[in-house]
């Protein structure tokens, strides 16, 4: 049995402790914002925040999460920070197929939480574990920069 907080609600899981957090989120909790790309921590499509830190849910065993706080893009959605990122991602054209977007948003949030005024290099570094095969990254970097500039006091 593992007890942890998922999107700010206490949850319990009593299945196989070696199961990937990714699968538990999608199959048990029906949170399909987390995507499986590579399944080995290379692409970032499954990114979530665990205790505020960006983490790949595909290489996290559910049994390791006792007492932690897990936030997925669904849990992040009802915040002003998310709303601004959604707006700037749309404005900058940072979304094409959208498969990487939930992970990119979580990577952006992890960055802005620790560094509200990132340089372009900081942004590139922050999303360096998130692969996007559509945009060529520049629009995503613009979107995060825009959010940082417009988000005075949000982070």
Partner 1 sequence: MVKSLKPSTLEEALKMKTDNPDAIIYAGGSDLMVAKKVSQEILFINQLVELKEVCEDEEFLIIGASSIYFDLIENPLIPELLKQVLKDIASPAIRNVATIGGNICNASPAGDSLPALYLFDAKIIATSLDDNNQISERMIPIENFILGIRKIDLRPNEIVTKILLPKDKISVTTKMGYKKVGARKSQAISKLLFVAAMNIENDKVTDLRIAYGSVGITTLRRKDIESHYIGIKYNELLTKIPEIIEEYRECLHPIDDQRSTAVYRKKVCLNLLEDFLNECK
Tell me which residues touch partner 1 (CB under 8 A): 2, 15-18, 20, 40-42, 44, 47, 50, 53-56, 58-61, 63-64, 66-67, 107, 110, 125-126, 128-130
CB of 103 to partner 1, least distance (A): 9
Minimum CB distance to partner 1 smaller for 19 or for 145: 19
- Smallest gap, in angstroms, from Cβ of residue 69 to partner 1? 13
Backbone angles phi, psi at 13, to 5 degrees: -140, 125
Residue bearing tokens 């997925």: 72
Residue with tokens 């574990």: 129
> Least distance to partner 1 from the beta carbon of 73, Å?
14
**How many angstroms separate the Cα of 25 from the Cα of each of 5, 47, 85?**
12, 12, 23
Q: At what angle do helices 138-150 and 101-114 cross, to 10 degrees?
A: 40
Give me the least distance between CB of 136 and partner 1, in Å please.
Answer: 15
Q: Taking the CB of residue 134, how many other CB atoms lie within 10 A of it?
A: 15
Which CB sits closer to partner 1, 125 or 150?
125
For partner 1, which is the closer residue by CB, 17 or 151?
17
CB of 71 to partner 1, least distance (A): 14
CB-side exposure of 68: number of CA atoms within 13 Å?
19
Residue 51 or 83 having the CB closest to partner 1: 51
- Closest by alpha carbon to 76, among 45, 114, 116, 47? 47
In the complex with partner 1, the residue whose CB is nearer, 62 or 84, is 62
């Amino acid at each position: 049995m593992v007890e942890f907080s998922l999107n700010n609600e206490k949850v319990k899981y009593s299945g196989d402790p070696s199961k990937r957090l990714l699968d538990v989120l999608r199959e048990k909790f029906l949170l399909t914002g987390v995507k499986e790309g590579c399944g080995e921590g290379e692409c970032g499509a499954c990114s979530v925040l665990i205790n505020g830190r960006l983490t790949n849910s595909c290489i996290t065993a559910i049994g390791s999460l006792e007492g932690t706080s897990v936030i997925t893009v669904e849990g992040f959605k009802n915040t002003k920070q998310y709303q601004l990122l959604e707006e700037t991602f749309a404005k900058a054209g940072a979304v094409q197929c959208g498969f990487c977007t939930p992970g990119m948003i979580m990577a952006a949030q992890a960055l802005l939480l620790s560094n509200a005024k990132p340089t372009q290099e900081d942004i590139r570094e922050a999303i360096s574990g998130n692969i996007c095969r559509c945009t060529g990254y520049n629009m995503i970097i613009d979107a995060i920069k825009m959010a940082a500039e417009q988000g005075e006091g949000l982070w």
